Amino acid sequence: MSGTFDGLTVAISGGASGIGAAAADAFAARGANIAVLDLNANPDHWSQTCDVSDDHQVRQAVAAVAAHFGGIDVLVNNAGIGAVGTVEENSDKQWFRVLDVNVLGMVRLARACLPHLRESSAPAIVNTSSIAATAGLVKRALYSASKGAVHSLTMAMAADHVAEGIRVNCVEPGTADTPWVQRLLDQAEDPAAERARLEARQPTGRLVSAEEVAAAIVYLADPSNKALTGTALAVDGGMSG
């Protein structure tokens, strides 16, 4: 629906690739100003280089977005990194790193954006969690714990900020066809067989597309969906159903 986000500014972490890049395109198609916050620039959209594990960089990048566009209406907290392993296989150092990016990265961005969201007529935060938050996936202890934390953070923030009209929701994608998953497949002993296994795991028999996840993010951020807060929306081809 073109024009839904006319005049609104959407800041998207991890917006240079995969789900975040698809979200940037989808919001832009609906009239939004896009600010990509990522380690890398997105050549199609206004970007600020920013490492979400660095609070100083986050604050500077958010200030730059607000100065450039005159405010921030929607935060899409999407940057994340993966981890493979059981609790015996991942070190403390790996745990601290992944939680720093996947959980604290979202906290830092939310903290920096909230003062701007309070000035907005249509404030919303959408966090990217994962089906891993609730499904027991093999060798994903650390990643799952980080995404479970994103789920809980979403619910707590929704409660904290509902009175000021700021809606907070999350998407929980199944395996999505993004550069991230392609990198994992490239490392597999038999990439074609691994892809087939991941496809078969979802009842639809295919991977979710980045655009399908982006559409759910746009839906959660849509200012007309005023009753939606504290929601986790699964986009997983029926895997959690």
Task: Please choose, out of 15-23, 83-91, 188-196, 216-224, the segment that lies near ligand NAI by the rule CB under 6 A.
Answer: 15-23
Cα–Cα distance between 171 and 154 in angstroms, integer? 10
Nearest by Cα to 95 from 49, 165, 149: 149
Q: By CB under 6 A, what part of segment 78-97 binds ligand NAI?
A: 78-81
Pick from 70, 179, 191, 205 the residue near ligand NAI by CB under 6 A: 179
For residue 202, state whether it binds ligand NAI (rule: CB under 6 A).
Answer: no
Q: By CB under 6 A, what part of segment 148-177 binds ligand NAI?
A: 173, 175-176
Number of residues near ligand NAI (by CB under 6 A) = 28
Q: Which residues of 105-120 are buried (b: 16+ CB within 10 A; e: fewer)?
A: bbbbbbebbbebbeeb
Cα–Cα distance between 95 and 101 in angstroms, integer? 10
CB proximity list for 214: less than 8 A, separation 6 or greater: 19, 22, 23, 25, 26
For residue 237, state whether it binds ligand NAI (rule: CB under 6 A).
Answer: no
Cα–Cα distance between 9 and 36 in angstroms, integer? 11
For residue 38, state whether it binds ligand NAI (rule: CB under 6 A).
Answer: yes
User: Nearest approach, Cβ of 169 to ligand NAI (angstroms)?
Assistant: 15
Task: Please choose, out of 1-9, 26-34, 45-53, 61-69, the segment that lies near ligand NAI by the rule CB under 6 A.
Answer: 45-53
AA letter at 22: A
Q: What angle do CA 215, 219, 221 make, to 5 degrees?
A: 115
Pick from 12, 19, 23, 122 the residue near ligand NAI by CB under 6 A: 19
Cα–Cα distance between 59 and 105 in angstroms, integer? 11
Task: Please choose, out of 9-17, 24-32, 156-164, 220-228, the segment that lies near ligand NAI by the rule CB under 6 A.
Answer: 9-17
CB closer to ligand NAI out of 101 and 122: 101
Quote the distance between the C-alpha of residue 150 and its chain's center. 10
CB proximity list for 19: less than 8 A, separation 6 or greater: 78, 128, 173, 176, 178, 210, 213, 214, 217
CB closer to ligand NAI out of 47 and 120: 47
Which residues does the annotation mark as catalytic? 143
For residue 180, state whether it binds ligand NAI (rule: CB under 6 A).
Answer: yes
CB closer to ligand NAI out of 65 and 122: 65
For residue 99, state whether it binds ligand NAI (rule: CB under 6 A).
Answer: no
Q: Hunting for tokens 């479970």 — which residue is that?
A: 148
Interacting residue ranges for ligand NAI, rule: CB under 6 A: 13-14, 16-20, 38-40, 50-53, 78-81, 101, 128, 130, 173, 175-176, 178-181
